Every structure is written in C-alpha cells, then in structure tokens.
A and B are shown apart, each in its own frame.
Chain A
C-alpha cells in the first residue's frame, strides 16, 4: 500500500543520519515526553538567547518517524527567531493534524514536507508530533511561548499504563 508515502527517503535519511542529536549544555529549558502507546521517549533542550533559539538539542528512543521528526525540527528551528519558530511549529502541527488534506509549504517546512504522508496514518501522527510537543514545553520552560491556537496533542504527552 502507501508505505512509500510514510517512509519517504528524506525521513529514512534523517533517521539514519540524525542532525544535531545528543543533549548539550548549557540550556534554559528542557522537557521529556513519552508516547504511551509505544513507549517512545524524547528529551528536548532549548537555549533561547535573546529572541532566537541558539541551540536545540535532543536525545531519544523511538521509531523512525519520531526520531526523524526530531532531526527535522532541529534543522528547521535552530537559530530561528522565536516568532519564526512559532510559525513553523504551527505549520508542522497543522500539517500533522490535517488528515492528509493540508498542502505543505516547502518554503516554511523544508524537509518537514516529507511528513505529509504521515498525516494519513493516524497511529503515527503522535510519533511525528512527539519531539514538537516536547520542544514546545522546553521552550515554555525557557520562557518562550511557541504554542499556536490548536497546537495540542494531549495523547503525545500523557503517561499512562
């Protein structure tokens, strides 16, 4: 079936060769999120210096979708102004929650457009959003609000049996 739509080369490439992986110091906001359905975990740290994210570091255990998504997040948001980052964050969340009906803008999302296919697999949307939700919380702890109006994925941050 449409497996090719899910496992785009770009995604597999980010999974096999992740960008910016590994937790770094110093940082001023950190969040650890768990996907309760599969046990995937990610820790994201952000350094918000002035009005931009001067470092974003992460480490985690998880499937290709969640880990590639973290790598793409790093590429897209590093050294961006907090306002730009909020816009990109909102666009990625909208793409993921769009049930495959949202046309992604490559100028905004870069490699993130490869995740358009993931939106058609409801069970995997949470995987793709895991690092983004952890990033949002880490940024909030660093005093930066990147939440958009509908940027909620409660299941991605719940911890349950």
Chain B
C-alpha cells in the first residue's frame, strides 16, 4: 500500500478550516496533533452507547466500558511491542508518567546523598523538573549530557557521566525542539553496565516512527495520546513488568488497592496499582482508535512520509535568507520538527504574522528553556510536521517568512 497524503488529509475534518481567510496550514503537531474522524467517532460512539465506569460494575454498560478500556491497553501494548498489556499504565499525559517514575522508582531505589540521576540539556521541562524535585527530596545529585553545536547529544563524557553512582538515566528519544532522534543504544548499554535504570521520554518519537520497547532496551518509556492523533487527557507509561511489580504506588485511592482496612492497605498488581481513581476511559478508547489508524497506515510509511517532508523543509528553509536552523541540518537522525530563528525578528512576531496567513507554528521556549539557552536565544520559532503535512504547506511557510521579513524589514 502506498502512502497517499491527500487520502490521509481527507480523514481530518479540521484541515478544511480557514484561519484568517486562508486555508489552515497546521505546522504545530509536536505541540498537539490533529485528530482523524475515526478517533472522534470512536469517542462519540463510546459516550453515546457504552458509557459506564470501569473495573467495578457487573452491569452491561460497565462491562462494555471495561472491555473497551482494556482493549485500548492491549492495542497500545502491541503498538510498542510490549511483552504484555499489563506493562501499559494509563496516565494523564507524559508529564504524569515521568512524575510517576520519579516518585515510585525514586522511592524503590532508596535514593540518598551520593547517588546520581542523569538527564540531558535537550529535555522538555517535564523531564527536568521532576528530577530536580526528586534530588531535593533525597539529596541525590542531578547531572546532564550536554548538546553539541549541531544539536546532537554530547556523549563524549558518557563513561564518567554515567558511573557506579548513577541510579537512573532519563533522556529524550526525540527532541521536541531540535528534532534530534537520539540513538540511545550506547547510553542504555552503559546504564546496564553500572546497574542504572533508564527512562526514555518518547513523547515525540512514538507518534512518528516505529518504536519497539524490546529493541530500545530501556526500563520505562513515557508518551502521550494527543500528540499521536488521540485525545488530550491520556498518556502512557510503559515499564518492565518485573520492575513495576516492585515499585510502590504513586497516586492513591480507588482502583489501585487489593484490600483496605482502617489499619492499612495492600495494593493491586500493576498496572492497576498506578491507576488510582476513575481513569480517562473515553480518552483510552480514542487513543486505541488512533493506534488502529496509525497501524493501518504503517508506522514505517508514516515515518518515511515525514522524512521526505523534513528533507524538503530543510532545503526550503535553509534557502530563505536570514533563517538560522537550530538542530541537525540533514534528515538523518532527526524527525520533522524544525526550530529556527529569523534574523532581527522575535519569534512571537514571526508567529503572529504567520497566523495572519493561516500558518500555525509554535513560538517561544517550547518548555525547554535550557535548550534555548544552549543556543543563546530566549525563544525560537518551530514548525513541526506529521502524516498530513504536504510540501505545499512548507512552501506556504516559506512565503509566510518572506512576509514576516517585509513587515519587520
């Protein structure tokens, strides 16, 4: 089956919208993706026909809802080649998934002064702040990989950075700013040598390329539904089952218990142990539909389309005078997220002029201030692509940048 972008676009109702009198050119999928009608429809049908609470009802609706929720878990597990659906913990988003690990694995590791946690300078704030807080709580030390001038992870100090004091390494699989796809194999191998756990923030990779947790070799990965055609309000933590089984709970309440007395509580096995309270049920159904949609197209085909778009966009943008790219300048080892500066024009102004032309990009620090600081700028403009992005839209972006330069020239 060949990948037909026009056919894909026909599945996304929002892409027919006009913005400020221009056809919508949506170049902000790294922020949140748009949703195909298959996802919207699956959630609508669930709410109209099958709504009930999960895991506690004997009635028909409750049973249907439970089975829909667990089906979604199984779909997500298969999508990333997890050993069992029980390795999939539904959370609110990637941020919550990372916080879950910082709390529960952090407690399981019995961190103390002298222990070290390693992150990198290209992380989203959600993969920085939870570790800063964990270090504050335990006295452990936070260390990080630097970033090279061309936007790659600087692994030159790997042997000293990840050492026998390192208890956990948490790095991004694909940068939400630079677009860099990190080959994490050396880091994972080094972490294994010293006995450290590895978490990969896959928020930007799982939506865009085939991800196989058994190949990656990490202990945990985190990602979120709304960046992969699904709804907001649902994220995923994948963890090795044996490890999840040893970890204490994070949030406490209903559904995560085995038995409760006034004197004490025992906890359910994973994944229920980590899913306190009523979970995002309709959102799980939507995420399951998103996984079906992506699987139907094939993640290899999705990735190839984005590689083609990225190659075209790199060439187009680098041809625009005054544009400075942050991150790898060739499509190898990078995804379809391009951050750049326009000489003499603040990103906020770039974004405003582009919006007037219907071109929606993200501007600002992208919740990755240390990455911006690394490249000496307070903010960047970011265009990010997905399976529905066309080369025409890249041309619209380039024309928009000409307009930006006219307004501020």
Contact = CB atoms under 8 A, between A and B. Distances in A.
B196 interface: no
Interface string A63-107: 111010000000000000000000000000000000000000000
Interface stretch (A33-41, A44-52, A108-116, A141-149): A33-41
A62 B21 contact: no
A38 B352 contact: no
A40 B20 contact: no
A123 B349 CA distance: 12
A38 B363 contact: yes
A3 B348 contact: no
Interface in B378-409: 378-379, 407-408
A121 B355 CA distance: 12
Given A37-B364, A39-B364, A63-B348, A3 B125 contact: no
B369 interface: yes
Contacts, number: 53
A39 B379 contact: yes
Given A12-B408, A38-B364, A40-B378, A161 B129 contact: yes
B407 A7 contact: yes
Contacts of A14: none
A56 interface: no
Interface string A15-44: 000000000000000000000011111000
Looking at A3, A61, A62, A121, the one whose CB has the most chain B CB atoms below 10 A away is A3
B352 A6 contact: yes
Contacts of B356: 1, 3
A43 B129 CA distance: 26
A128 to B, nearest CB: 12
B408 A64 contact: yes
A127 interface: yes
B407 to A, nearest CB: 6
Nearest to A7: B407
A120 interface: no
Chain B contact residues: helix, strand, loop or mixed: helix
B347 interface: yes
Contacts of B302: none
Nearest to A67: B346
B361 interface: no
Given A38-B347, A38-B365, A61 B407 contact: no
B153 interface: no
B349 to A, nearest CB: 5
Interface string B320-349: 000000000000000000000000001111
B200 to A, nearest CB: 20
B20 A1 contact: yes
A62 B407 contact: no
Given A38-B365, A40-B348, 10 more contacts: A1-B20, A1-B21, A7-B407, A12-B408, A39-B378, A63-B346, A63-B348, A64-B349, A65-B348, A124-B352
Interface of B: 20-21, 125, 129, 346-349, 352-353, 356, 363-365, 367, 369, 372, 378-379, 407-408
22 contacts: A1-B21, A3-B356, A3-B407, A6-B352, A37-B364, A38-B379, A39-B364, A39-B365, A39-B372, A39-B379, A40-B346, A40-B378, A40-B379, A61-B378, A62-B378, A63-B348, A64-B349, A64-B408, A65-B348, A124-B352, A161-B129, A161-B367
Interface of A: 1, 3, 6-7, 12, 37-41, 61-65, 67, 121, 124, 127, 161
